Structure 1
Amino acid sequence: MKNLNLPPKNERLKLFGSIKPGIKTKPSDKDTMPDLQNVKSNFLFRLNSVGITNVKAPVTVISTIEPKTQTSIATFTLTSSIPHDVKGTNMSRFTEQLELYRRKGFTLTFSQLSDFVKELSERLGQKDARLEVSFPWFYEQQAPKSFLTGLNYADASIVISYQHGQIVEKTVELTCTVTTLCPCSKEISEYSAHNQRGYIKMKAWLNDLYDESYDWKAVLLHVAQSNASAIIHPILKRSDEKIVTETAYENPRFVEDMIRLVASDLYEVSFIKSFKVECRNEESIHLHDAYASVTFDKTNTDWEDERD
């Protein structure tokens, strides 16, 4: 091994640009530092959302499907409004609130999320606060013949909004993967039919009937899988693959079919007041993807207009 004649570390640091600290003239105590964000004046506009985004933290996810308790990495967006006469917000208070919940164990239940946004609003000194959290949710999927299980996952997210002392919005979203088989291909071909991987995104606004006895993730997953041509499986033996292939052939679906079938099931879920469904198929014989969507508000009494 060749010995290098290296200078001392302080000399190496100087070599790459480090300099001695200069004379400090500005205050170093918080109480004597200027707080630009709290300056009051007419700053022209009220801001709807100010805060932090793309913040990752470990969380616990509870489910009725195995694994029933799992750790995950969640991505947070935390915001609040500010009036026109306030220059800015105190960004550190958002991360302080998140760290407080991380230390005591952040479980993504609606009760804990509701407490979080209420306390965040109080910490900020504002009348509102909003939390968006997204995370991968893992669930066991069993093969139809061998009964071997493995982990699938879906992309999940929750939005909680708090205003003037109450929760005003509870929204959930799940994007899961299914198999769809083309009805047109089946109809015109002498044998076989092409299929594709489909992505079902369901966004649901929850009403007051929702409580923690429900697992919204499991409900939305079942809605997507039960209407697809076939289910995506992490582990398949040959006997399983035969069943999955034949099941897809027996249940052809256009993206339009998927959207309408999923919407029908969501309409029947008692704790959902409105929803949006999107389906995107990665076509196996085209360069483009097929896409369809629908939005429906169950609280709209003039529901016939929704069908026009």
Structure 2
Amino acid sequence: MNAPEKIFLPDVQASHDERNIVIQKVGIKSVRHPVQIKTKAGSQASVAMIDMTVKLPSDVKGTHMSRFLEVLQNQHAPLEFDSVKSLMSTMLERLEATEGHIDMKMPLFLNKVAPVSGVESLLDYDLHIKAAFEKGALRYTLQVQVPVTSLCPCSKKISEYGAHNQRSHIVIAAEITENMDAEDLIKIAEQAASCELWGLLKRPDEKYVTEKAYDNPKFVEDLVRDIAVALDHSDKVVAYEVSSENFESIHNHSAYAWLAKDKRHTH
């Protein structure tokens, strides 16, 4: 018998295809993989759901799926702008491709200090990193989903006492041209809210949160507009999408607002 290394195994994927059809995205989807995230406090371990794809030329039958995993397995640097840019470059080189996409979704945990008692606890956020290399240029988008509290200005104005409030999910997707920490976007969202959230609160903290929200009412429209103003002042952000979904406490539906802006096309 021949030794395994002597056996010829044809590379079917690399064979010629006669249909002359380009495939814009081909690769691996929904790969769950451990990662490290760069944060202001240092590197943080997480588990990401990852999609990696490349553009397949019209004359090539298939891509080499195993190479995506090889590239991913060799990625050890914490995720941030430069490391994802390097990962994209390696993927394109290894897959012999000119265009590609990398999409990573993972939880991010930040240690937060309660406003009065000082008790510490973790709060979880959804982090989404999207990178696309097309027509010779990289587009990198950092997205966070931030839970906050919003209190209705109308309810406060028309009521003799009290005002209804609700938990809201703010989503910021910022296209950036240099490294930016996810905490920077989270801070922008929390500062725009009636009040931010904490994982653990004592009674003095609950009093603070209740009164701060009451003193800082925000419509869903206020939330996205205030965040847009902050993003307009960031030189690192060239385009963005902002949305807020307020899970209403007096309705069985949500209030919602969304806006987008490409600062490169604004004069």
What TM bracket, shorter-length normalisation? over 0.9
| Distance (Å, rounded) in 1 between the aligned partners of 2:5 and 2:51 | 30
- Please tell me the residue identity of whatever aligns with 1:82: L
**Quick one: distance in 2 between partners of 1:30 and 1:286?**
70
Larger Rg: 1
Alpha carbons 1:140, 1:150 under 8 Å: kept: yes
Note if contact 1:118-1:129 (Cα within 8 Å) is conserved in structure 2: no
Q: How does 1:1-40 map to 2 (within 5 A)?
A: 32-40=8-16
Q: Does 1:90 align with 2:61?
A: no
- Residue 170 of structure 2 is matched in structure 1 by 200
Residue 177 of structure 1 and its aligned partner are, at CA, apart by 0.4
Distance 1:31 1:193, change over 3 A: farther
Number of the residue aligned with 2:31: 55
User: d(CA) in 1 for partners of 2:264 and 2:159?
Assistant: 44
**Hey, which of these two has a bigger chunk of strand by percent?**
2
Structure 2 length as normaliser, TM-score?
A: 0.93
Q: Residue 175 of structure 2: SS of its match in structure 1? A: strand
Matches within 5 A, 1:71-220: 71-101=45-75, 105-163=76-134, 167-207=137-177, 210-211=178-179, 214-215=180-181, 217-220=182-185
**Once structures 1 and 2 are overlaid, which stretch shifts more, 243-252 or 181-190?**
181-190
2:70, 2:189 → 1: CA distance?
Answer: 38
Whether the aligned pair in 1 keeps the contact of 2:120 and 2:200 (CA below 8 Å) is yes
Structure 1: give runs of 5+ residues left out of the alignment: 1-27, 303-308
CA distance in 1, matches of 2:23, 2:6: 26
Give the Å deviation of 1:176: 0.7
Are the aligned partners of 1:43 and 1:87 in contact in 2 as well (CA < 8 Å)?
Answer: no
Find 2:252's aligned residue among 287, 292, 297.
287
The amino acid that maps onto 2:35 is: V
Post-superposition Cα deviations, 1:177-204, rounded to whole Å, max 9, x if no partner, equal: 0000111211121111111010000001
Query: Aligned partners of 2:192, 2:17: CA distance in 1, in Å?
Result: 56
Alignment RMSD (CA, Å) = 1.8
Runs of 4+ in 1 over 4 A off after TM superposition: 28-31
Identity %: 37
